[in-house]
Structure 1
Amino acid sequence: MTAEHWTLLADVVSVVCLLGGAFFVLAAGVGVLRFPDLLSRMHAGTKPQTLGLVLVLVGLALRLREGGAVWALVLVVIFQMLTAPVAAHMVGRAGYRTGKVRHDLLVVDELTRDLQAADARTADELGADASAGDELGADEPVADASDAPDRPDAPGRSAPEGRPSA
């Protein structure tokens, strides 16, 4: 194959990647608008959007074929792949803790178990501190689990609708 054939092939693959990336980004936008809850929307906003961006950048790199530009695009892909999952994880945890998650749509809910175990450990630690009350002083109140931040799953709080209380 001649150089012209390789250039034509690279251009065709570039167009396919650009169109595929545009499709995934469009699907991400539609998913964010149509899905019913925070976790579904977050999934739609991160997974196909990231893949779409990577495909667009690959298509752009195939089209540009210049060393400096390609390395800049590689850096964008690396940073996107490193930051998008972490950001989605933090948004999901914050939404869960503030009661924005529909628990009736969850198939597996491991975070409630983990939060309850953490609350129990905190209560045990506070109880151990209360038994060593000489250092705290008799007038200082000791925090208990009911002083936990306003989380719907904290002990003493009522469970959100559709979610059984523990």
Structure 2
Amino acid sequence: MSLAATIIEIIAAALLVAGGLFAVIGSLGLLRLKQSMQRLHAPTKATTLGIGSALVAVAVHIWLNEDRLALRELAVALFFFLTAPLSALFLSKAHLFRSEDAAKLPPTGTKAGWATLSEDNPAEPSHPQDRKA
């Protein structure tokens, strides 16, 4: 095995270890954090980096040992990096809409109010079962 191949294997191993650490930290954060907005942050950031690091490590290993580009692994990693922030955004907006009163939010500092809790989109839940008695 050449020196370049050894260095690439070390990089792939380091990516796997880093990916595992990120995944464990994200999972622990999901379990340990108290508020739902904090719990949302842990898996969308740390676990995405963990899965992405592992997939990049597999792609590097395939490239080195099979001498081909691992397009599937890279596509899955790209999918995770693109969708995790969007899903976190939608989940946080849904949480904000369901649990915050528009009158208690601080001013935005602009003419526009909070987009999630604007007059067109009131803070009152639309389903009677979701309304607080």
Q: Is this a same-fold pair by TM over 0.5? A: yes
Q: 1:61 to 1:35 in 2, by over 3 A?
A: same
Consecutive unaligned residues in structure 2, runs of 5 or more: none
RMSD of equivalent CA atoms = 3.1
Displacement of 1:9 after TM fit? 1.1
TM alignment of 1:76-155, pairs within 5 A: 76-99=76-99, 113-115=113-115, 118-119=118-119, 122=120, 148-149=124-125
Partner Cα separation in structure 2 for residue 98 and residue 46 of structure 1 = 20
User: 3-state SS of the aligned residue for 1:39?
Assistant: helix
> For structure 1, which runs of at least 5 residues remain unmatched after alignment?
101-105, 124-144, 152-156, 159-166
For the pair shown, which has the larger CA radius of gyration, 1 or 2?
1
Per the normalisation by structure 2, the TM-score is 0.74
Deviations 1:30-84 (A, max 9, x none): 000111111111000101111111111111112121425x111111111111111
User: Would the aligned equivalents of 2:16 and 2:57 in 1 still touch at CA under 8 Å?
Assistant: yes
SS of the equivalent of 1:114 reads: coil
Give, in whole Å, the separation in 2 of the partners of 1:18 and 1:76.
Answer: 16
Deviation at 1:96, TM superposition (A): 1.5
Q: How many residues align?
A: 118
Give me the identity figure in percent.
25
Moved over 4 A (4+): none
Give the AA of the match of 2:57. Answer: G
